[in-house]
Structure 1
Amino acid sequence: MNGTIPEKLTIKWLQENYRNKKLTPKEVIVEIIKRANDDANMNIWITPPSLEWIQPYLEKLNSLPIESSPLWGVPFAIKDNIDLAGIPTTAGCPEYAYTPNEHASIVKRLIEAGAIPVGKANLDQFATGLVGTRSPYGETQNSLRPELISGGSSSGSSVSVARGQAVFGLGTDTAGSGRIPALLNNLVGYKPSLGAWSTKGVVPACASLDCVTVFAHSLEEAMLVDQSARGVEETDPWSRNIPQPTSSLPDKIILPKEPLDFFGPFATEYSNAWDQVVEQLKKLDIPIEYIDTTFLSDAAAILYDGPMVAERWAAVGNFVEENPGATFPITEEVLRSGSASKYDAATVFKANHKLKAYKLKAKQLLTNAVLVMPTAGGTWTRDQVRENPIATNSDMGRYTNHCNLLDLCAVAVPAGEAAERLPFGITLFSLAEDEGLICGTAEAFAKKSDEPTTLIAVCGLHMRGLPLETQMKECRARFIREAVTAPKYQMIKLPTEPAKPGLIKQASGGGAIQLEIWEMPLSTFGGFAASIPEPLGIGKVELEDGSEVPGFICQAYAVEEAEDITALGGWRNGSEGQVPRSNVQLSK
């Protein structure tokens, strides 16, 4: 990599260096071209970056003031079912290719904001697939582990961002194509509400469900793109006036009540990662409600197992019929399923009526709420997808296919690793008019996930159900588990009002004392520790397994005026600390 240009490109870093005259857009493009050449075997591009056709966009920057051009000099990738004037649009099918005279509306807006298109990215043919392997231009490799799928259909757009060949990438999303690749390449995938970003100049998959989406390294960067992309396009019949989202928190977070399905060679790792995410969500201080989400998969079945798939055939069926052999076999199989004789006008209306009922249910459940699900329940190797292309692709859409059918907005965000170089991610859903809720919740989740914390052992009034538990809550602490000290401690009852315990480690003798382990943000821990009155304080407490955690301790001089209660084995076992177990919540 260029020594001055980082592998991960961001809007903030680029524009700071542009303003300080440390870097020029042309230098960035030259580096991107080099990176694209180095990664040529990854099949990221259909029309790769080339200075020959990018040069006019560089020259255009000379007439754009950087101060009023929010995306000035920012390179972006375009999925090759979205038009870029003068460059062929293939939709992943060479025989289908045409060269548009105009940019797609979304591309035009971004270029006017100063962004630089750098290439047309590979995709699952006709945007039909979630795996990234269904392209005559080659299987796009995962950015982190080449043996795994990249996700689709927006495969090249996502991998170009992950590999530092674009700052952001445009994808499309009908059933998850703007979210699955984000998960698998450790990116944010933002899918605005239907119609919020114009689809004029986009090869339709299902025109009534299609969205243009963005891949970026952070939600903040995705929202910077949104500022230039969003807005009604008067010549686009699918365009809607949906305002720029303002981040806010929901009244509640909704999680699936039923056990989720995990699949593939990393099913266990994905399941464990989801469990960890649920624990992180509990830290957000937003009420959580568990609901039966099976109606989401019932709604999703209308897309591929019902007559709605006929909309895909309506888009490209004539081309498939007139060009035998031009379409990938597996793609054609999916497309032709929409021409089945069992799908007549009556079945379409019946499906629409079912869908209307599902939309009503979604609206009732998601008003002022955010639904959180895994972006996917697993992943596959590229070899496994070749061996079983239909089932593996269907698995990837289990938690994505319902979204556009139910008129929801969504953002896929990273949520740590399921295993080494194996990202895990979640998707947040809300109603179309509530995009601000997914933004606010995603920001809160990212902040909480990144916030450093410390464990703290408590042995007295700060335990669950006792008078000072509120102080733990005020410091955003979270109960982790019950524990026992090493058998080396004396517990005394201090003559305070109210009475409090003190824990003193002994050089010899002593007993094992019951306590609780909590987790507290470091940002609040310092103030909490400073507020603890003499003779108490925070020090290292040794647990029965030999490990040490910060916790409440007491200075030895306090023994002289205190009662030794070591024999009780814990504060709850004395009269002051007794709380009926039925009144003690097991988690917070």
Structure 2
Amino acid sequence: MTFSACGTGPVLGPSVAEIVDSHASGSGSPVKTAMRVADAIEARGDDGTWISVVPRDRLLAAAREIEARPGARALPLYGVPFGVKDSIDVAGVPTTLACPDFAYTAEETAPAVARLLAAGALYVGKTSLDQFATGLNGTRTPYPIPRSVYGDNMISGGSSSGSALAVALGQVPFCVATDTAGSGRVPAALNGVVGFKPSRGVISTVGLVPACKSLDCITVMAGCIEDVDRTFDVLAGLDDNDSWSRSRGPSYGGTPIRIGLPDATDLEFFGDESMAAAHFAIRKKILRSAATTVAVGLGPFLDAGALLYQGPWVAERLVEFADFLAAQPDSIHPVVRDILRSGEKYTAVDAFRAQQRLQELRAEVGRGWRDMDVLVLPTIGTTFTVDEVLARPIECNTVLGHYTHFGNLLDLVGVAVPMGLTADGRPVSVMVLGPALSDDTVLQVAAQLLDEPRSHSDELAHEPLSQSTYTLEEQL
């Protein structure tokens, strides 16, 4: 596979902290920020990042309303602009799931989005996605196919394609996205931003049109861990209307963190030597650091991941979309339609058999957490161009989800961390995983990997794992 870099990579705008400080000090204002955002989106045109945006006059009016709120300058997200994946409801705005014939206008705002608005955040618009949130590549859409910021032909990843792009283009500092099989991590990896998938249930999924309701998570795309921290603090909270809701786990206590590293023979890069070289260079830095590392076998993780699309969980998508599939099959993207129909073959026996097998794998993985606190592995093993995905839509998508499919099935928390470039100019990302409710510990390790200061001691400070360009020579 060859790749010719045409893009510049992410060009992040001001962070959440910078925007809030600017607004609170008076050196900036929500209205000025809204104007900058509107200008940036208009300058790009219809590039596949957004499905709908708030018109300029209404965006400025919303910014003025935020400025006029009593005590506005003390709000944690005072005037901070953000985008919402177009599978999540915002009152008065169409929710399309990238399927115009399925679209409806939401009557209520999803609680997660409502929490952001109450904290002073400025809603900008709905971001693109693979139709019905079914895909990890960003090409399954009737709208313009978005491209990665690293090159005109590289896929953006999906299904939260537009959410990652809006952050990577510097249009907004964070976006609300989702993750069922890796949708909040794969596009982050392909656009050089942070993609945080919290523990299931910690952020309410009420108002999200489900892909697989038992697995879905609302996630955050951002440019840095601090921005994730600030938005997660607002988003997390119990919701009595969400049957999967649960309280957030404990804060990281400052104790040494044991980092699991997969056996090198378990890692698959699908013939991409440049990506392999970059990842193993990162592993070397971790091994040379002060962190305690533990060798881990990936077998049970990968076996669990195989159940997602090679087992009855694909049938769970029919809970939401079976009636529409029967009534208007031609309105559905052909690849998505075939995936939905593939769920019709599974029986109740198949579902119980798969659940029993998954429980065995959960128990095996659970025993592994006795010896490690987090697991670090690649977010993706390789990249693809749009043409490659269009030619082999299922095969390429399976490759993209190799390291992410098992995350929600095994009830894990994960964050995709940008770690520089391959020798040929493509993005490198590692994923930090932890057991359910270890969100703060996982974010702590992610911050350490980025050499980003956080409130706790930096275990990896002996050799910061900052972003750089890795070459094959560094591995050898």
Same-fold status (TM-score > 0.5) = yes
TM-score scaled to structure 2, two decimals? 0.90
Q: 1:394 aligns with which of 389, 395, 398?
A: 398
> Counterpart in 1 of 2:329?
324
Q: 2:65 aligns with which of 55, 60, 65?
A: 60
> Counterpart in 2 of 1:145?
151
Supply the AA of the counterpart residue of 2:232. Answer: D
Mapped partners of 1:11, 1:114: distance in 2: 12
Mapped partners of 2:96, 2:173: distance in 1: 23
> Counterpart in 2 of 1:260?
267
Mapped partners of 1:185, 1:325: distance in 2: 32
1:373-388 matched pairs, under 5 angstroms? 373-388=377-392
1:200-219 matched pairs, under 5 angstroms? 200-219=206-225
Task: Classify 1:398/1:122 alpha carbon distance in 2 versus 1 (closer, same or farther; 3 Å).
Answer: same
Task: Please state how far the C-alpha of 1:317 moved relative to its aligned partner.
Answer: 1.4
> Counterpart in 2 of 1:444?
448
The question of whether the paired residues in 2 share the 8 Å contact of 1:248 and 1:439 is answered with: no
- SS of equivalent to 1:433: coil
Mapped partners of 1:36, 1:251: distance in 2: 41
Supply the AA of the counterpart residue of 1:346. Answer: V
The question of whether the paired residues in 2 share the 8 Å contact of 1:158 and 1:169 is answered with: yes
Q: 1:30 aligns with which of 23, 29, 35?
A: 35
Task: Classify 1:35/1:317 alpha carbon distance in 2 versus 1 (closer, same or farther; 3 Å).
Answer: same
Alignment root-mean-square deviation, CA? 2.1
Mapped partners of 2:319, 2:203: distance in 1: 23
Where structure 2 has 5 or more consecutive residues not aligned to the other structure, the ranges are: 1-10, 454-459, 465-476
1:560-571 matched pairs, under 5 angstroms? none
The question of whether the paired residues in 2 share the 8 Å contact of 1:254 and 1:289 is answered with: yes
> Counterpart in 2 of 1:294?
299
The question of whether the paired residues in 2 share the 8 Å contact of 1:284 and 1:448 is answered with: no
The question of whether the paired residues in 2 share the 8 Å contact of 1:204 and 1:210 is answered with: yes
The question of whether the paired residues in 2 share the 8 Å contact of 1:248 and 1:440 is answered with: no
Task: Classify 1:277/1:7 alpha carbon distance in 2 versus 1 (closer, same or farther; 3 Å).
Answer: closer
Residues 43-97 of structure 1: per-residue CA shift (max 9 Å, x gap): 1111024224434532331114234310010000100000111110001100010
1:12-91 matched pairs, under 5 angstroms? 12-61=17-66, 62-91=68-97
Task: Classify 1:64/1:193 alpha carbon distance in 2 versus 1 (closer, same or farther; 3 Å).
Answer: farther
Q: 1:159 aligns with which of 155, 165, 168?
A: 165
Task: Please state how far the C-alpha of 1:300 moved relative to its aligned partner.
Answer: 0.9
The question of whether the paired residues in 1 share the 8 Å contact of 2:451 and 2:461 is answered with: no
Residues 542-579 of structure 1: per-residue CA shift (max 9 Å, x gap): xxxxxxxxxxxxxxxxxxxxxxxxxxxxxxxxxxxxxx
1:164-563 matched pairs, under 5 angstroms? 164-243=170-249, 245-246=251-252, 248=254, 251-257=257-263, 258-263=265-270, 267-340=272-345, 343-367=346-370, 368-419=372-423, 421-447=425-451
Larger RCO of the pair (alpha carbons < 8 Å, separation 6+): 2
Task: Classify 1:316/1:476 alpha carbon distance in 2 versus 1 (closer, same or farther; 3 Å).
Answer: closer
Task: Please state how far the C-alpha of 1:247 moved relative to its aligned partner.
Answer: 6.1
Task: Please state how far the C-alpha of 1:17 moved relative to its aligned partner.
Answer: 1.8
Supply the AA of the counterpart residue of 1:184. Answer: L
Task: Classify 1:102/1:199 alpha carbon distance in 2 versus 1 (closer, same or farther; 3 Å).
Answer: same
The question of whether the paired residues in 2 share the 8 Å contact of 1:64 and 1:114 is answered with: no
Mapped partners of 1:251, 1:221: distance in 2: 22
Mapped partners of 2:107, 2:250: distance in 1: 30
| Of 387-396 and 312-321, the range deviating more from structure 2 | 312-321
Where does structure 1 differ by over 6 angstroms across 4 or more consecutive aligned residues? none
> Counterpart in 2 of 1:125?
131
Task: Classify 1:256/1:240 alpha carbon distance in 2 versus 1 (closer, same or farther; 3 Å).
Answer: same
Mapped partners of 2:332, 2:133: distance in 1: 12
Residues 299-352 of structure 1: per-residue CA shift (max 9 Å, x gap): 111110011111012221111111131000001111111111xx1111111111
TM-score scaled to structure 1, two decimals? 0.73
Task: Classify 1:18/1:113 alpha carbon distance in 2 versus 1 (closer, same or farther; 3 Å).
Answer: same
- SS of equivalent to 2:430: strand
Mapped partners of 2:314, 2:226: distance in 1: 35
Supply the AA of the counterpart residue of 1:344. Answer: T
| Of 223-232 and 24-33, the range deviating more from structure 2 | 24-33
- SS of equivalent to 1:288: strand
The question of whether the paired residues in 2 share the 8 Å contact of 1:144 and 1:185 is answered with: yes
Residues 242-278 of structure 1: per-residue CA shift (max 9 Å, x gap): 24643645542111112411137xx111100111110
Residues 388-421 of structure 1: per-residue CA shift (max 9 Å, x gap): 1110111000000000000000111111211354
Mapped partners of 1:310, 1:70: distance in 2: 40
The question of whether the paired residues in 2 share the 8 Å contact of 1:198 and 1:212 is answered with: yes
> Counterpart in 2 of 1:553?
none
Aligned residues with identical type, % of pairs? 36
Supply the AA of the counterpart residue of 1:333. Answer: D
The question of whether the paired residues in 2 share the 8 Å contact of 1:313 and 1:335 is answered with: yes
- SS of equivalent to 1:447: coil
The question of whether the paired residues in 1 share the 8 Å contact of 2:30 and 2:64 is answered with: no
The question of whether the paired residues in 2 share the 8 Å contact of 1:122 and 1:154 is answered with: yes
State the structure with more CA Rg. 1
Mapped partners of 1:448, 1:183: distance in 2: 18
Mapped partners of 1:63, 1:280: distance in 2: 48
Where structure 1 has 5 or more consecutive residues not aligned to the other structure, the ranges are: 1-5, 450-474, 478-519, 522-588
Task: Classify 1:34/1:255 alpha carbon distance in 2 versus 1 (closer, same or farther; 3 Å).
Answer: same
Task: Please state how far the C-alpha of 1:36 moved relative to its aligned partner.
Answer: 1.1
Task: Classify 1:417/1:317 alpha carbon distance in 2 versus 1 (closer, same or farther; 3 Å).
Answer: same
Mapped partners of 2:63, 2:327: distance in 1: 40
Supply the AA of the counterpart residue of 1:323. Answer: Q
Residues 81-130 of structure 1: per-residue CA shift (max 9 Å, x gap): 00111110001100010111111010000000000110101100000000
Task: Classify 1:251/1:222 alpha carbon distance in 2 versus 1 (closer, same or farther; 3 Å).
Answer: closer
